Amino acid sequence: MEIGIERSADGVMTIALNRPEKKNAITSAMYQTMADALADANEDAAVRAVLIRGGEQVFSAGNDLEDFMKSPPTSEDAPVLQFLRRISSFEKPIVAAVSGVAVGIGTTLLLHCDLVYAAESATFSLPFSQLGLCPEAASSLLLPRLAGYTLAAEKLMLGEAFDAQEAHRMGIVNRLLPLGEVDAFAYAQAAKLAALPASSLRVTKMLMKGTHGQEIADRMKEEVVHFGKMLLAPEAREAMMAFFQKRKPDFRQFG
């Protein structure tokens, strides 16, 4: 199973990315599985918190580019957009455990989690501009709000990798832990949340998010419009071709 779904007796649903041979790169089918799991969890009173984790060496390399190019998100029903809508509007606590690399949506999905714990050796990157694309998952709204414009601009415009210590300073990550302790600690935090009154957590999360929910939904729609156009543009085709040919892209030919 490329996505493992487990429900524990203490009320935690674990969504585990389990495609190590592809560095947990996410396909449309995997997005659909996660979107459906979040929809079920939101309606199931027995699920009181969700934990999202990857493997010890990699959280997620982001979109599976080959699958992504075969099935681009051209409609609102695209699995990736279903997943983003559901994680951004999820009413119950979400905890993430991040080890290894977190690329693209592997980082932006963390902006919709309530608690994020990462290995001290984890690395993060948002290489949208390097692929001739624009940010997604409302990261163009959430990251500047969280980290400040200049830091967000550096990460989203240059797209260069940054370490866990910087992710912690930016507010993406709550706490850094030794590599072997991340999953257990994150699960314990999720179990703590699951033991608390569900209504208290739901209202607290709703109050903290306030009116941002509609703002996030609107920004994701705006990003998708630009993303779809840019995906068909020459710059993105050059970036994707260079990726598959294992060479450096040449964007100088484009204005």
88 by Cβ neighbours in 10 Å (0-12 / 13-18 / 19+) ranks as: buried
Residue 148 CA to residue 154 CA, distance in Å, equals 10
Strand partners, 63: 26
CATH code at position 134? 3.90.226.10
Q: Is residue 233 part of a domain?
A: no
| Structural domain span for residue 51 | 3-179
CA distances from 5 to 50, 83, 164 (A): 10, 15, 26
Note whether 190 and 51 are within 8 A (CB). Answer: yes
Number of domains in the chain: 1
Strand, coil or helix: 151? helix
Strand, coil or helix: 255? coil
The DSSP secondary-structure symbol of 63 reads B
Q: Helices (H) and strands (E) in the chain — how many of each?
A: 11, 10
Q: Is residue 188 part of a domain?
A: no
Task: Average pLDDT across each block of 10 residues of the chain; the chain has 255 residues. List them in order.
Answer: 96 98 97 98 97 96 90 87 97 97 98 98 97 96 98 98 98 97 98 98 94 92 93 91 90 83
The DSSP secondary-structure symbol of 157 reads I
Q: Is residue 76 part of a domain?
A: yes
Residue 163 CA to residue 153 CA, distance in Å, equals 16
Q: Which of 124, 123, 73, 127 is nearest to 243 (CA)?
A: 127
Q: Is residue 173 part of a domain?
A: yes
Q: Is residue 153 part of a domain?
A: yes
Helix (H) or strand (E) holding 58: strand 58-60
Q: Is residue 115 part of a domain?
A: yes
For the record, the structure tokens of 10 come out as 């203490």
Q: Is residue 208 part of a domain?
A: no
pLDDT at res. 243: 87
Q: Is residue 198 part of a domain?
A: no
Distance of CA 83 to the CA centre of its chain: 10
pLDDT at res. 253: 84
Report the relative pairing of strands 58-60 and 12-17 from DSSP bridges.
unpaired
Cα separation of the two ends of the chain: 44
Record the pTM.
Answer: 0.96
